[in-house]
Amino acid sequence: MTHSAPPTEDRTPAGGRGPDDDRSARPGLLMGRLFGVPVYVSPSWFLVAVLVTVMFEGQVDGVVSRPLSYLVAFTYAVLLYGSVFVHELSHAVTARAFGLPVRSVTLHILGGETSIEREAPTPGREFLIAFAGPLVNLVLAGLGLLVHAVVPMPDVALLLLEALTFANLLVGLFNLLPGLPLDGGRLVRAVVWKVTGRSRSGGVFAGWVGRGVAIACLVTGAYLATYSTGEGGGIGWLALLWSALVASFIWVGATQSIRAERVRDRIPQLSARRLARRATLVTADVPLAEAVRRAREDHAGAIVIADHDGRPLGLVSEKAVTATPEHRRPWVSAGDLSRGIDDGLKLAADLSGEELVEALRRAPASEYLLVEPDGGVYGVLAVADVDRAFAGI
């Protein structure tokens, strides 16, 4: 269970997404909105629900007979992910309380993730947002122990309560492990940030600790597989498989966090002018083949639709041009492959650094028109070029 914020997501801080961008796919099935935050369930969750149901049914069949035992086991699987959902929702609510926009909450095979638009502006707020999730699970575990001690209940309800109490305790403690991308890693990042005054130092340090946590998870799984007392060692090998899955998740997340901090160092060097492509202006009725020919003749990397007075009206999608076969281009007009230029897609050519990145975040797209102070067209900025600049290509 994690919460993420740029630039720690698996994309550069530019990360533009347009209607023709495959990356704009939803992370799962939209289940609804809570406090204005979309809640998604990944298809992988249903696989986990089946596995949890089958595994937990073995504990339930001694209390209730089949097929009712499967219904009770499935109820546990739903309640378990209900605890995960509350964990993620606590991240989202805390972030919004600090004025940070929350993009989504997603439940998936390894738990859940809360995607936050921006990182916290201070280490203290970063700490509180990260700690909110594990705290809720530990509180739920404490409430479970209290109810267990004072409230008499049927055997099946008692079994569910004990399992959920243990699960919340495990989730809370696991997420406090001190390495990114876990919540404990964000706590470490916040502490190092506070001590050093540099968020990057905290992110890199917590990322390396996260790699250590990943290795520890894998070693633990190998130990359980080797010394398992389960029937035929099945429980141990299942532990190894699960720990390998968790370890890979943590390792990848930690590596992305380290990379993201290094990427952030490149932000001040970003310049819209330096990354711009020369643009060729054509009217909407010009055949695509002719527009491409003119662009090549002008040594231009982009095509802009303009009226007869030279006023820009639209941007021709590079992806759409590439997808159009050569033999079709004489019969397709350039205007057919363009999108209109609204205010968010028209940027000042002098933008650079954080201002440029923020402008790209405000209006995600694949291409932007760059204009001079007098309104003249300077060129086109492609997000693919920004991504390459971040990657050091």
Work out the number of other CB atoms within 10 angstroms of the CB of residue 266.
Answer: 15
- In angstroms, rounded to a whole number, what is the distance separating the alpha carbons of residues 1 and 85? 9
Tokens (6 digits) for 110? 């390894």
Q: Are residues 76 and 52 in contact, defined by beta-carbon separation less than 8 angstroms?
A: yes
- Radius of gyration over every alpha carbon of the chain, rounded to an integer in angstroms: 26
Is 3 labeled as ligand-binding? no
| Separation of CA 331 from chain center | 41
Residue type, 102: V
Is 87 labeled as ligand-binding? yes
Give the DSSP H/E element, type plus range, for residue 295.
helix 288-297
Cis peptide bond prior to 7, omega within 30° of 0: yes
∠ Cα 361 323 370 (to 5°)? 35
Q: Are residues 116 and 100 in contact, defined by beta-carbon separation less than 8 angstroms?
A: yes
Is 183 labeled as ligand-binding? yes
- In angstroms, rounded to a whole number, what is the distance separating the alpha carbons of residues 105 and 35? 11
Catalytic positions, please? Answer: 88
> Annotated binding residues for Zn(2+), as ranges?
87, 91, 183
> Annotated binding residues, as ranges?
87, 91, 183
